[in-house]
Amino acid sequence: MALWTLFGLARGRASSAWPEGDAQAAGQHGVQGMPLVTAQTCAESCAACVAACPTDALRRVELPAAADAVPRHGIALDYGRCIACQRCVEVCPGGTLQASEDWALGTRTRADLQFDPQAAPAPLDGTALALQNAIARRFRHSLHIRHVDAGSCNGCESELQALMNPFYNLHRLGIFFTASPRAADLLLVTGTVTEPMRAPLRAAWEAMPEPKWVMAMGACAISGGMAREGYAGGSGLQELIPVDVYLPGCAPNPAAIMHALLLLLGRSEQHLHGGRSDG
Amino acid sequence: MSNMLVLHLRATDVPGNIENLLVQGGRMQMVYASSVDGRIEACYLAAPGAGKPFELWRVAVPPGGLPSMAAHVPLLGWYEREMQDLSGVGVLDHPEPYALVIERGTDPAPFFAAMDDGHYPAPHVLPEVEGDDVQELDFGPIRADVFESGQFRFFYIGERILRYHPRLFLKHRGMEKRFQGLVPDAAVVLAERVSGVGALAHALAFCQAIEDAAGIEAPPRARVWRSVLAEMERLYNHLHYLGVLADATTLKVGQAEGRLLEEQAKQLTARVCGHRLPMNVLRPGGLRRDLALPSDFVAHLGKLESASLRYLDQLEVTSSFLDRLHTTGSLPRQVAFDQGATGPVERASDLDRDLRRDHPYAAYAEHAPDVALHKDGDAYARYRVRGAELRASFVLLRHLLAHLAPGPVLAPCAVPADSIGLGWAESPRGSVYYVVHTDASGRLARVKIKSPSYSNWRVFPYTVHGTNMMDYAINEASFGSTIAGCDR
């Protein structure tokens, strides 16, 4: 064993400083982000992106006619359904949909994942935020997570397991995975929630002591993802258990997961409000 | 369509054809149900051997049901039960006649609900073991740490496991049915999400099946990129495997090193294709977009290679690690063949098969891998084979990257109506096959997926019965199967 101790020591420090440090520290160089809707109006009769979207994350919305009385429409985008497959960006003829490098898009409400060209984002509810932060401060220094796979493709697990590697080294932030739901503060759910996994998921949630939180990780857990509403079940956590943090993506990368966990603890800022990223 | 011959057989011809195939050194791959003009037919995929075309035997299901072949070809047992559960095909005289994938009772089968009149409900039976002092342990479906969901039932006395029964398919998402009605281009993202850690291999097998149906081939540059990404996927998966195996033997620094190297492989993958788990890259006909090789990519890959080789060397001299692997979870060659083991698991039991060499695709005809084999069939052999494959992947990547000539990355790929195609890939966990059937409008009518973890989970219990509790976690890690890939 002494050999391995030396081996490890000789390796030096491998951990990133993320969320501190520059973009390099996140380790996500080159990673595609979520698409952005850049302009409000699209070419008449074009719905190429809506047809191309495999998860119905996009829909056409009619906009009020302008002075020339020509009817117009725009595109609404639900990041809670988006799997960032980039198909909409590829088929968009007018450049309305653009690729981005935005991936740290965890939010505290489902509504914040929904972009609508007409609706301005709701103003922040200061009282709710203050209350959430007050609760969050109780866990400020430590968070214990019980993960439940409720029907994933294993992509989310692969990225969750990566949090424990020396690069992200989640423990340095005081965040740990725990075996027992009775010792957990947060239930972190991945997968579309298949019929046979509903009861075990519910049992894990009920076994957790109050106060408890739930995080829906990935498009599957938020909305059902690619496997939604099939014969095998699956529309995510909707109407099943209350969710405190939504993390869109497919699969969300480890830095994005850390951002969402820290958001829950009041230790990071939410970037997405009403479907609009503040960069 | 040149990847396989399609033969129309009667159900009574199947046993004789199977006999011939086995005598000539071939192997059955799977059987699934499809529908033609309102009738259900069973489609058997047979692999006559290296270099020979695959065969699809299409058999009209006789009234009353299909005779089970599981007693002759055990690996077909799960496929037959799945046909019964999902397609409502009655299977006669099955040695294990109970439900496998879903328990639908007398509800119509999801695939052919409209035309299914018999429904063939399968009883829900779990094998019971009774006797003085026999204890029963149900483990899962939610397990400690970050794991996929699956339930495992042990009947044991003290340390000794008498009988082991995994209860899988709790995560069954009905992915194959999701393909129905999609245009092939749109279905690639679905194939990528069947098994996230095999995204590239699944997308590749699917795209090649579509290309087979269309009778086209991807351009050379696209084929080299496909092999590059497939080997990048193998790198991060095998490094992950080594880290998990080190963890199972409580070698903590070894675990950390494996996971760190896996992370570096994922980051390199993202730099070259935009996704850590190489998704959103392939499309029938080639690639969705041309990729550029970052200027420092080869240098980073070289560093990862030397660190990986140092890591493998260090594991190989760690007796506490090796002691736990030798003789653990022994899988004899014959059992591996009969039950359908694939990938590193079968090669560790001395079955010399690798689709990259035996049926080259992408750029593997020009760049064939060295195929690693081992005779012992235990956890040590499985670890050695994966280690050797990791080394071989680095060598292969260097060759591939040196042959990345400029050129187009997409060929026109028009899929004919009412066509069939077969595609395959050797994923990090073994063989992936996709058979695609298109309808009158060229959309997908039926897509059947043969995934490696489905094969290897079928095999795994044979290495657990009669062993001891202490070795279980190490044995499971030494298989390195995913549950999503199995459950689909």
Considering the domain architecture, whether residues B336 and B465 belong to the same structural domain is answered as: yes
Considering the domain architecture, whether residues A45 and A94 belong to the same structural domain is answered as: yes
Task: Determine, yes or no, domain membership for A46.
Answer: yes
Considering the domain architecture, whether residues A170 and A132 belong to the same structural domain is answered as: yes
pLDDT tens-digit readout, B295-327? 999 999 999 999 999 999 999 999 999 999 999
Task: Determine, yes or no, domain membership for B362.
Answer: yes
DSSP readout, B374-399? -SS-SHHHHHHHHHHHHHHHHHHHHH
Task: Determine, yes or no, domain membership for B13.
Answer: yes
- Domain holding B153, by residue range, is 135-167
pLDDT at B336 over 90: yes
Question: Do the chains contact at B263 and A167, CB–CB below 8 Å?
Answer: yes
Specify the number of domains making up chain A.
2
Considering the domain architecture, whether residues A132 and A265 belong to the same structural domain is answered as: yes
Q: Are the C-beta atoms of residues A272 and A113 closer than 8 Å to each other?
A: yes
Is the Cβ of B132 closer than 8 Å to some Cβ of chain A?
no
Considering the domain architecture, whether residues A259 and A163 belong to the same structural domain is answered as: yes
pLDDT at A40 over 70: no
Considering the domain architecture, whether residues A272 and A160 belong to the same structural domain is answered as: yes
Considering the domain architecture, whether residues B50 and B142 belong to the same structural domain is answered as: no
Task: Determine, yes or no, domain membership for B103.
Answer: no
Query: Identity (one letter) of the amino acid at B49?
Result: G
Q: Quote the tokens at residue B422.
A: 């077969």
Considering the domain architecture, whether residues B273 and B384 belong to the same structural domain is answered as: yes
Question: Do the chains contact at A197 and B170, CB–CB below 8 Å?
Answer: yes
Task: Determine, yes or no, domain membership for B253.
Answer: yes
Considering the domain architecture, whether residues A182 and A265 belong to the same structural domain is answered as: yes
Which one of B174, B194, B483 has the shortest CB-CB distance to A231?
B174
| CA-based nearest residue in chain B for residue A151 | B171
Considering the domain architecture, whether residues A134 and A259 belong to the same structural domain is answered as: yes
Instruction: Find the angle CA(B196)-CA(B436)-CA(B106) to the nearest 5 degrees.
Output: 80
Considering the domain architecture, whether residues B341 and B462 belong to the same structural domain is answered as: yes
Considering the domain architecture, whether residues A174 and A217 belong to the same structural domain is answered as: yes
Question: Do the chains contact at B193 and A194, CB–CB below 8 Å?
Answer: no
Task: Determine, yes or no, domain membership for B196.
Answer: yes
Considering the domain architecture, whether residues B78 and B152 belong to the same structural domain is answered as: no
A74 or B79, which is more confident: B79
How many Å lie between the alpha carbon of B97 and the closest alpha carbon of chain A? 21
Q: Are the C-beta atoms of residues A219 and A192 closer than 8 Å to each other?
A: no
Residue with tokens 């996709």: B434
Residues 6+ apart with CB under 8 A from A77: A35, A37, A57, A58, A114, A115, A275
Which phi and psi angles does A177 have, rounded to 5°? -95, 140
Task: Determine, yes or no, domain membership for B124.
Answer: no
Count CB neighbours of B327 within 10 A.
14
Q: Are the C-beta atoms of residues A41 and A72 closer than 8 Å to each other?
A: yes
Task: Determine, yes or no, domain membership for A18.
Answer: no
**Strand B4-9 with B54-60, pairing:** parallel
Is the Cβ of A100 closer than 8 Å to some Cβ of chain B?
no
pLDDT tens-digit readout, B189-225? 999 999 999 999 999 999 999 999 999 999 999 999 9
Mean pLDDT, rounded, of chain B: 93
Considering the domain architecture, whether residues B152 and B214 belong to the same structural domain is answered as: no
Is the Cβ of A48 closer than 8 Å to some Cβ of chain B?
no
Task: Determine, yes or no, domain membership for A208.
Answer: yes
Considering the domain architecture, whether residues A134 and A269 belong to the same structural domain is answered as: yes
Residues 6+ apart with CB under 8 A from B104: B85, B110, B121
Give the model's pLDDT for residue A117. Answer: 84
Distance of alpha carbon B139 from alpha carbon B131, whole angstroms:
21
Give the model's pLDDT for residue A94. Answer: 82
Considering the domain architecture, whether residues A153 and A198 belong to the same structural domain is answered as: yes
Going by pLDDT thresholds of 50, 70 and 90, the confidence category of residue A275 is confident
Give the model's pLDDT for residue B109. Answer: 84
Question: Do the chains contact at A8 and B279, CB–CB below 8 Å?
Answer: no
Where a domain ends, among A86, A102, A118?
A102
What is the CATH classification number for the domain harbouring B410?
1.10.645.10
Q: Quote the tokens at residue A86.
A: 């980039």
pLDDT (average), residues B107-134 = 72
Instruction: Find the angle CA(A145)-CA(A150)-CA(A153) to the nearest 5 degrees.
Output: 105
Task: Determine, yes or no, domain membership for A10.
Answer: no
Considering the domain architecture, whether residues B381 and B432 belong to the same structural domain is answered as: yes
Residue B5 burial by CB count (10 A; 0-12/13-18/19+): exposed, middle or buried?
Answer: middle
Considering the domain architecture, whether residues A210 and A272 belong to the same structural domain is answered as: yes
Residue with tokens 């041309």: B290
DSSP readout, A43-93? -TT--HHHHH-TT--EEEEEE---TT---EEEEEEETTT-----HHHHH-S
What is the CATH classification number for the domain harbouring A79?
3.30.70.3270
Going by pLDDT thresholds of 50, 70 and 90, the confidence category of residue B117 is low
pLDDT at A70 over 70: no
What is the CATH classification number for the domain harbouring B44?
3.30.460.80
- Domain holding A163, by residue range, is 126-277
Question: Do the chains contact at B102 and A148, CB–CB below 8 Å?
Answer: no
Least confident of A226-235, B424-433, B461-470, B472-481: A226-235
Which bin fits B51, alpha (ψ -120 to 50), beta or left (φ > 0)? left
Distance of alpha carbon B370 from alpha carbon B388, whole angstroms:
9
Distance of alpha carbon A254 from alpha carbon A217, whole angstroms:
11
Where a domain ends, among B116, B143, B167?
B167
Where a domain ends, among B59, B92, B125?
B92
DSSP A123: P
Residue from A102, A231, A261 to probe the interface with B (highest B Cβ count within 10 Å): A231
Distance of alpha carbon B483 from alpha carbon B488, whole angstroms:
8
Burial A38-70 (b: 16+ CB within 10 A, else e): eeeebeeebebbbebbbbebbbeeeeeeeeeee
Considering the domain architecture, whether residues B424 and B338 belong to the same structural domain is answered as: yes
| CA-based nearest residue in chain B for residue A203 | B142
Task: Determine, yes or no, domain membership for A148.
Answer: yes
pLDDT at A44 over 80: no
Mean pLDDT, rounded, of chain A: 88
What is the CATH classification number for the domain harbouring A185?
3.40.50.12280
Task: Determine, yes or no, domain membership for A160.
Answer: yes
**Strand A213-217 with A245-247, pairing:** parallel
Task: Determine, yes or no, domain membership for A26.
Answer: no
Considering the domain architecture, whether residues B186 and B250 belong to the same structural domain is answered as: yes
pLDDT at B448 over 60: yes
Considering the domain architecture, whether residues B196 and B160 belong to the same structural domain is answered as: no
Considering the domain architecture, whether residues A201 and A148 belong to the same structural domain is answered as: yes
Considering the domain architecture, whether residues B68 and B148 belong to the same structural domain is answered as: no
Considering the domain architecture, whether residues B420 and B297 belong to the same structural domain is answered as: yes
